[in-house]
Structure 1
C-alpha cells in the first residue's frame, strides 16, 4: 500500500483519494481549532500561499483525540477560514492514534518515527511527503512551520529536475 491508495474524508463527509495529489509534495497536519498551538494555522497558510504555485499542498486533518476540537468538521473548517484565513483543504475529523486511527495517520506514523516512538503526541504534528508519496519529514507539534521550510524547498527542488 502507498499513500495514494488512501481515501480521506472532506469536511463535508464525502471521501476522496489522495491520488488526487500524486506528483505533488504534501504537508499533512493533525489540527485542533481550540489548541494553544492553533496560531500555527497562520504560518501554515503562509507556507501554502508561498509554495502552492510550486506544487505544495497543505492538508489539515482535525482530530479531537486531545479534546481540543469543535463538534463537527464543518464547524472546524469554518473556524479555520474565519479565524485564521485558511484556504488549504481541511478534512473530516479523524483519530490519529489507537485502534481507530485513520489509515492515513497509521501510514504516516509507520513510515516515520517521532521522538517518543511512532504515536502522535499532540495536535499539530506535521508530516512532509514528497512527490513520490514518501514520508521525508516529521515535525513536532511545537515546531513552527517556517522552521522546516528548508526541507520543503529541498522537496520542491525535486520538481525542477
Structure 2
C-alpha cells in the first residue's frame, strides 16, 4: 500500500558516508590547528560550523521503501502496489485517532495518525553544497549500494542475535 502519489523526494544518508564526512572534517581541523589559525580566512574555517551531509541522491519516498523491501527479499512489483489517495488515508487516520481515544479515554494514541500523512507526503531534501566546498565531501557509497549494505548488515545482525538466544 502506498499513501499519496509518490512525488515527494527524500534525502537519506548512509552511515558510512556520514563517517567519511566526519573524517574529512577532522582532517580539516587538524590542518587548521597546524597552520596559523588566525591567518585562515573565515570562509575557509570549519571550526564551529555545521554541515549537512546526505547521499546527495534524493529518492521518491515510496521508491526508497520498496527498494528496502526488495533488498530484504520482500519486494513488491509496482503494478501490485495499491495507491491510497492522501485524502482517503487522512479520513481513515482521523477516524482511527478518535476510536483509539474514545476506547482508551485518551490514554493511548493511534498508530495510524495524521502525523503519518504529513510524513508520507512531505519533501525532505537538503543542500550539501557547504560540505562539498568546505570539506571536499562527495558521497562514497551510492544510495542503492547503501540500501543493500544496510539491509544485509541488519539481517546478518538479527540472525546472529537469534543464534545467541
TM above 0.5, yes or no, is: no
Coarse TM-score class (shorter-chain normalised) = under 0.3
Task: Specify which structure has the higher proportion of helix.
Answer: 2
**Greater relative CO (CA pairs within 8 A, separation 6+):** 2
TM-score (norm 1): 0.21
TM-score (norm 2): 0.21
Task: Specify which structure has the higher proportion of strand.
Answer: 1
Q: Which has the larger radius of gyration?
A: 2
